[in-house]
Amino acid sequence: MNTFYTTYIKGQRLNELIAINVAVFVVVNVVELIGLRLTPWLAASDSLWLLLKRPWTIVTHMFTHASVGHILFNMLALFFMGQFFLQMQSVRRLTTLYLAAGLGGYLLFLLFFAIFRNGPIAHSVVGASAAVMGIVVASAVLRPLQPIHLFGIIRMELRWLALIMVCVDLFSIKDGLNSGGHVGHLGGAITGFIYARMLMGGATMPWEKWKAPWSKSKLKVTHKQGRPKSDEQFNTERKARQARMDIILDKISRSGYDSLTKDEKDFLFQQAQK
């Protein structure tokens, strides 16, 4: 039942995140082909002075990549782990985690060089690696025993994959290999762990409930000064929604997505936003 719902509808937000990363990579490389250096204006620096001059880099750095190999690895990891996260959580929570883990990685990067700065040279960071690490660790916390196949061959539980990735970053810092980048990865991992624990405790971010006015369905029913729903009413409505979802997905399996009516398509997309 959840296959179409996750891969087609909820997966659209994941595809949007990947598309933004790819579009930024293409634009940056095209602009730099004509001799204009764009990456420094998108990368986040450990210099607070540069951060004040370019505050947008707090966000742009997590959509900017240094090479083909860099973006290829990150986007593959984002695609597979993002799909897995969406099996458990909503599209808004995926976006929240991506941005929060990217920011968490940057904050730890800032702290690291504030303590261990060696000389006046400023360091910069780019890439979605911290965001991806956040998604990996959060998924492992939410479903640690989930089996996966690394490279399609090696079978292991998701918790061990997350642990291996964290250990690789820890040892890489010790060896001095791209220390700032690996510190950022750990910041993303810590953020992913905290966010997953919050979700397990029932926490919801305020913006995850917000809906844009233009996204409201014309068929939406509003209740004026109504009493809160009882548990029985809530469960009845939930069962009705689930029953309708089952009917629609069965129709898709028999006749394809294009056979749905506009009302049925609207219903699917409304459920994807919850």
pLDDT in tens, 23-48: 999 999 999 898 888 999 999 998 88
- Lowest model confidence (mean pLDDT) among 80-89, 145-154, 184-193: 145-154
Q: What pLDDT score was predicted for residue 242?
A: 78
Q: DSSP letter at 229?
A: P
Query: Across the strands, what pairs with 124?
Result: 45
Amino acid at 223: H
Residue 251, pLDDT score: 73
What pTM, to 2 d.p., does this model score?
0.72
**Rounded (10°) CA dihedral 199, 201, 206, 209:** 70
Nearest one of 64, 76, 185, 71 to 133, comparing CA atoms: 185
Q: Does the domain at residues 2-208 carry the CATH identifier 1.20.1540.10?
A: yes
Domain boundaries, the chain: 2-208, 215-272
Q: What is the pLDDT of residues 232-247, one digit of tens each?
A: 776 777 777 777 877 8
Residue 129: burial class (beta carbons within 10 Å; 0-12, 13-18, 19+): buried
What is residue 30's three-state secondary structure? Answer: helix
Q: What's the pLDDT tens digit per position in 154-184? A: 888 999 999 999 999 888 886 665 677 889 9
The pLDDT of residue 217: 46
